[in-house]
Structures are given as C-alpha cells and as structure tokens.
C-alpha cells in the first residue's frame, strides 16, 4: 500500500518564494479546491493520504516534496535551499517518524526534494539554485548503506531537477533538454517534452498511471501515443507559486523500513491518516 503525505495549502501562499515566474495573485480558495482534487486523484491511484500538520504562516508549506526524500529503508529530511522554507521540515520529520527511520541533511548542505529523482537504486540530484554539492554528498552518505548511488546533475534555467525531468514509467524519463542534459539519465528512455511546453516535464508516476497537468496537451498526446495512462489534475493556482504535480506529496510504500525507536509502533503522533476509499 502506498502512503501519500500531503500538507494543506497555507492561507499565506501569496507570499511564496518565486524564482522563474512573475508574481500573480493566487486564489487561495481555488488552490484549496484543486489541492483536494489532487488528493482525490492520489486516493484513486491507491494511496492512503496522511497529512503533515498544517503551517498556515509558512507560505510554501504545501510543497511538501521539498522537505524530504523517502526511500523504502529510510527517510532523509532535507535542509531546503531557501531559508524561508527551513521551518517547514520539523513537522514533516515528526510525521515521517511513524513510517521510517529519519535522517537529516545538515548545514552547510542544502537540498530540496524537488531536486531528487529516484530511479531504482540511482538517485539523480539536481545541483543548482537550491541544492548544493554538499547536500548531494550528505544524501549519498545517508543512502549508500542501502545500495543507492547518488549522481549529481547540472540543472539550468528552472527551479528544480524535477521541473526538468521526471519518470513516466520505471524505464522512461520525461525531459526538457533545455534545462537538463537528457544523456545524464543513461539507462532511461528519454521522452522529450513538446518544445512549446517547457514546463511540461513534471509528471507524478503512480503505478499504472501518471498524474499530469492539463496545461500541456501536446506533451500529453506524446505520452498517450506511447501507451501511457495520463490522468489530468489541474493545479493551476499552485503553478503560480512555481509548484507542480510532484511537489505536493511525498509518496512511499507503507510498512517498509523501520520506524525510529520512539515510534516503533506507529502512533500517528505527527500525521493524521485517511484511508483510500
Ligand atoms: C519555492 O520556490 O520553493 C516554491 N514557491 C515552489 C516549490 C515547488 N517545489 C517543487 O518544485 N518541488
């Protein structure tokens, strides 16, 4: 069974960090409704939703992906590159302790989960504005005992590695080659986004389907021509905060890895869980 850890849209989201998009007013009520539809799509895909404690005063806290990297064996809580986002991690760590042993990235390392693409035992880390080489090194140190190999990759012109590349099957990567060199994903089959849709490389792969923004119809058609099942999920309000589909959840298997001793029988102290229907 899969768990999807999510976090509510903060009413302060209009004060979010922005790097590559211009500020436009975000309709918070609509963002909340779209986030609910996103959670519904996660449930539909077989996930149970767990909620990290909301942080109304942390504008970017809905983008929970950036706060941790969750593997079967261990969760690594990050140290986000934007200082304003570092207070987001404490409650996420508390939530994850119900499911995994939790390790951390420490100063001077910085790492955003949006820069981490896990493909089997290979972990690609985008090094750029938010994640630094030290963050990638620490991630390697935390994950290599479990057989993972970390490969730092250069990202240019976008916020995170997963703005530029995400998996659309265990063997295929959807990629915008203007932002990351597709050749770095050596063993993965590249699917190149439509050139008129540069933001189209972010897809959330969940078993037999990918959750995908309806804003990129030409790339969607490419994916469907390859036989991939695409489920449209509209997060247009959160896109104004530079967030995309993968950013709003941490999806991981339940029941693998060993929770930390303080939570060896899960108490759900830090997370509230709602089951798939
Ligand atoms: C930020 O700049 O940190 C947020 N406004 C957007 C974060 C999006 N997260 C992601 O792509 N993983």
Give me the torsion for CA of 13, 19, 24, 28, rounded to 10°: -20
Find out whether the beta carbon of 55 lies less than 6 Å from any atom of ligand 1.
no
Question: How long, in residues, is the chain?
Answer: 277
CA–CA dist 167, 187 (Å, integer): 12
Comparing 163-172, 196-205, 247-256, which segment has the lowest mean pLDDT? 247-256
Centre a 10 Å sphere on the Cβ of residue 24 and count the other Cβ atoms it contains. 11
Cα Dmax for the chain: 50
Nearest C-alpha to atom 1 of ligand 1 is from which residue? 17
pLDDT in tens, 64-112: 999 999 999 999 999 999 999 999 999 999 999 999 999 999 999 999 9
Find out whether the beta carbon of 60 lies less than 6 Å from any atom of ligand 1.
yes
Report CA(26)–ligand 1 centroid distance (Å).
15
DSSP string, 92-154: HHHHHTTTS-EEE--TT----GGGEEEETTEEEEEESSS--HHHHHHHHHHHGGGT-EEEEEE
Domains of the chain (ranges, CATH numbers):
2-253 (3.75.10.10)
Give me the catalytic one of 16, 158, 247, 248: 247
Q: What is the pLDDT of residue 81?
A: 98
User: Looking at the predicted structure, is the pLDDT value of residue 271 above 90?
Assistant: no
User: Looking at the predicted structure, is the pLDDT value of residue 184 above 80?
Assistant: yes
Give the mean pLDDT of 12-41: 98
Whether 247 is a known active-site residue: answer yes
User: Looking at the predicted structure, is the pLDDT value of residue 15 above 80?
Assistant: yes
Give the mean pLDDT of 162-191: 96
Q: What is the pLDDT of residue 259?
A: 60
Whether 160 is a known active-site residue: answer yes
DSSP state of 251: E
User: Looking at the predicted structure, is the pLDDT value of residue 270 above 60?
Assistant: no
Find out whether the beta carbon of 130 lies less than 6 Å from any atom of ligand 1.
no
**First and final CA of the chain: distance in angstroms?**
13
Give the mean pLDDT of 28-50: 98
Q: What is the pLDDT of residue 272?
A: 53
User: 267: pLDDT confidence band, cut at 50, 70 and 90?
Assistant: very low
Average pLDDT of the chain, as a whole number: 93
Q: What is the pLDDT of residue 274?
A: 45
pTM: 0.93
Find out whether the beta carbon of 244 lies less than 6 Å from any atom of ligand 1.
yes
Find out whether the beta carbon of 82 lies less than 6 Å from any atom of ligand 1.
yes
Per the DSSP assignment, residues forming a β-bridge with 103 are 76
Which of 23, 130, 158, 247 best tests ligand 1's pocket when mutated (most atoms within 8 Å of CB)?
A: 247
Are 65 and 249 in contact, with CB atoms under 8 Å apart? yes
pLDDT in tens, 213-266: 999 999 999 999 999 999 999 999 999 999 999 999 999 999 765 564 443 333
User: Looking at the predicted structure, is the pLDDT value of residue 276 above 70?
Assistant: no
Are 213 and 235 in contact, with CB atoms under 8 Å apart? yes
Which of 63, 244, 251 best tests ligand 1's pocket when mutated (most atoms within 8 Å of CB)?
A: 63
Find out whether the beta carbon of 242 lies less than 6 Å from any atom of ligand 1.
yes
Which of 117, 163, 241 best tests ligand 1's pocket when mutated (most atoms within 8 Å of CB)?
A: 241
Find out whether the beta carbon of 237 lies less than 6 Å from any atom of ligand 1.
no
Q: What is the pLDDT of residue 186?
A: 84
**77-102 burial string, b = 16+ CB within 10 Å, else e?**
bbbbbbeebbebbebbbbbbbbbbbb
């Amino acid at each position: 069974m899969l768990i999807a850890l999510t976090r509510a849209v903060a009413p302060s989201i209009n004060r979010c960090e922005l790097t590559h998009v211009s500020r436009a007013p975000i309709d918070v009520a609509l963002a909340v409704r779209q986030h609910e539809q996103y959670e519904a799509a996660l449930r539909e895909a077989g996930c149970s939703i767990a909620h990290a404690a909301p942080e109304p005063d942390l504008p970017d806290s809905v983008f929970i992906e950036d706060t941790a990297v969750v593997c079967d064996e261990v969760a690594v809580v990050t140290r986000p590159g934007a200082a304003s986002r570092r207070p987001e991690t404490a409650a996420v760590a508390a939530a994850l302790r119900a499911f995994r042993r939790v390790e951390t990235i420490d100063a001077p390392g910085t790492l955003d989960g949006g820069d981490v693409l896990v493909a089997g035992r290979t972990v690609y880390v985008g090094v750029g504005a938010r994640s630094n080489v030290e963050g990638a090194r620490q991630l390697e140190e935390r994950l290599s005992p479990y057989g993972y190999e970390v490969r730092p990759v250069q990202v240019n012109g976008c916020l995170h590695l997963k703005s530029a590349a995400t998996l659309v099957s265990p063997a295929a990567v959807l990629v915008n080659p203007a932002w990351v060199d597709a050749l770095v994903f050596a063993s993965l089959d590249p699917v190149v986004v439509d050139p008129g849709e540069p933001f189209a490389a972010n897809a959330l792969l969940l078993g037999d389907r990918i959750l995908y923004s309806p804003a990129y119809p030409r790339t969607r058609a490419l994916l469907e021509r390859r036989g991939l099942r695409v489920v449209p999920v509209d997060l247009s309000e959160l896109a104004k905060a530079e967030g995309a589909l993968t950013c709003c959840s941490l999806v991981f298997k339940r029941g693998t890895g060993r929770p930390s001793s303080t939570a060896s029988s899960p108490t759900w102290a830090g997370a509230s869980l709602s089951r798939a229907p």
